[in-house]
Structure 1
Amino acid sequence: MFLCDIGNTYLHFFCRGKMWKEKATQITKKNHDIPIYYISVNKKNEKKLLESHPKCLNIENYINLDTIYKGLGIDRKAACLSIQNGVIVDAGSAITIDIMQSGIHLGGFILPGLDTYNKLFSNIEVLNLNFNLNVSLTSLPQNTRDAISCGCIKSIILMIQNAAKNDYIYFTGGDGRFLSKFFNQSIYDNTLVFKGMLKALQKNTEGLL
């Protein structure tokens, strides 16, 4: 069985504990007898997957999360489904922060990701500088690069701290490992979405491929 999380840039695959990503234009051939269970936030990339493999099933309707949040993305739902209690931070081009309590999704926040923050200054010549990821967050910056880096990174850290309070934090996504190092009660796990998908599949075995 293959699991696939279809994003806007890559298709992320998971099988037998291994995870990898592929571009929609370069999907590798897989054993056609093995089904692919997927979720998707991109219709064009989803179509590419369906064209490449005969046994594909969108399991969005199987991922049921107890929440009143309107418009919660299917990838966020899957990640939240994998955690009973705690805060889930998915740090990609956008950073999503979701709070789970006793299996119930209480709500969440969305922030620009590190790279998106960086691009906000791209049209201002004197501020168009790459972040210093090693900048001190406890002392006053003494140059423009450090000022931008500290301002953006610390704003993300403080938002997560405010949301989490004393709860455990689960980081995932491309910048998740970097952000997790600022928190003692945290773990980086890039398989949270797939764990949620597996949990949904285990609860719903009828009508599947």
Structure 2
Amino acid sequence: MRNLWLDVGNTRLKYWITQDQQIVEHMAELHLQSPADLLLGLIHHLKAQELDCIGISSVLDPTNNKRMQNTLSLLGIPITFAKVHQEFAGLRCGYQDPTQLGVDRWLQMLAVEHNTACVVGCGTALTIDLIENRKHLGGYILPNLYLQRDALIQNTKGIQIPDAAFLELTPGTNTLDCVHHGILLGLVSVIEKILQQTPQPLILTGGDAPLFAQHLRDYQPIVEPDLLLKGLKRYTFTL
């Protein structure tokens, strides 16, 4: 089977095309608040792929989701939008109202093989979700490295901070290093504090997962770059 998988965030659209269990094509692009228009520009390419089905993870509103569905219906194949359930495939949601939990976080947890785990999404936000015996205990959401840096720049006059790698946790000896090392130390410390309170396997996913893994080696982190894709597949084929 050849399938299309979409991860639609607030600003970025990612897609994977898989052939059986292999990823044969992958793209990530800003959708500028109009993912349906972006998909429309890809329709001819997608038609040529002779796809069998489409699975979608979208955090957008119903209007945008409907527009995407209308565009993708031009392919004439089944379309599945993932949603959060109170219980699904043995995983129980920790929110009283499941609709308030981001579907991306839900799918990441759904993909985890461990019955108990700490799942950290290192994307636009840093999300931390705790699972115990396949029950979601709840979690935390924090601004990521770059959101924190941008907030500091906007509120600190006279400090010009260019892009730089978040690599070290040592005390900075200039403003640039102080900012980057301090933000990274704060986020790493949050994850460590949670793991000390509730020791469990640490799963890292998202673009900055390898960076955080470097500073959390003592917890033997497992880096899963395509965790959401795995969860989306599991959701679609379990329905």
| Short-chain TM bin | 0.7 to 0.9
> Is 1:68 the counterpart of 2:94 in the alignment?
yes
> Letter of the aligned partner of 1:66 in structure 2?
R
Structural mapping, 1:25-104, within 5 Å: 25-27=37-39, 28-29=42-43, 30-31=46-47, 34-43=52-61, 45-54=64-73, 55=77, 56-60=79-83, 64=88, 65-69=91-95, 70=97, 71-83=100-112, 84=114, 85-104=116-135
Say how many residue pairs are matched.
203
Are 1:144 and 2:175 matched, yes or no? yes
Shift of 1:76: 0.3
Q: Kindly provide the amino acid, as one letter, of the partner of residue 168 in structure 2.
A: S
Question: Structure 1, residues 85-109: CA drift from partner, whole Å, max 9, x if none?
Answer: 2211111221101112221111211
Which whole-Å CA distance do the structure 2 matches of 1:53 and 1:97 have between them? 32
Alpha-carbon deviations, 1:105-149, whole Å to 9, x = none? Answer: 1121111011101111222233341364355314x3222111111
**Which one-letter code corresponds to 2:38 in the other structure?**
Q
Query: 5+ residue gaps in structure 2?
Result: none
Aligned ranges for residues 14-33 of structure 1 at < 5 Å?
14-16=16-18, 17-18=22-23, 19-22=26-29, 23=31, 24=35, 25-27=37-39, 28-29=42-43, 30-31=46-47
Correspondences of 1:176-195 after superposition (within 5 Å): 176-184=209-217, 185-195=220-230
Answering whether residue 130 of structure 2 is matched by residue 127 of structure 1, we say: no
Aligned counterpart, 1:113: 144
Instruction: Return the match for 2:189 from 143, 158, 178.
Output: 158
8 Å contact 1:87–1:100 — kept in the other structure?
Answer: yes
Larger relative contact order (CA 8 Å, sep ≥ 6) = 1
User: What CA RMSD, in Å, does the superposition of the two structures yield over aligned residues?
Assistant: 2.3
1:127 aligns to what SS in structure 2? Answer: coil
- Residue identity (%): 24
CA contact (8 A) 2:55 2:233 kept: no
Q: Which whole-Å CA distance do the structure 1 matches of 2:66 and 2:160 have between them?
A: 37
Q: Which structure has the highest helix share of the two?
A: 2
Q: CA distance change for structure 1 residues 135 and 10 in 2, over 3 Å: closer, same or farther?
A: closer
Task: Return the alpha-carbon distance in structure 2 between the equivalents of residues 122 and 134 of structure 1.
Answer: 16
Q: Does structure 1 retain, via aligned residues, the 8 Å contact 2:4–2:51? A: no
Structure 1: 5+ residue runs without aligned partners? 205-209
C-alpha contact (below 8 Å) 2:5/2:56 kept by paired residues:
yes
| Aligned twin of 1:202 | 237
**C-alpha distance in 2 between matches for 1:7 and 1:129:** 27
Q: TM-score normalised to the size of structure 2?
A: 0.75
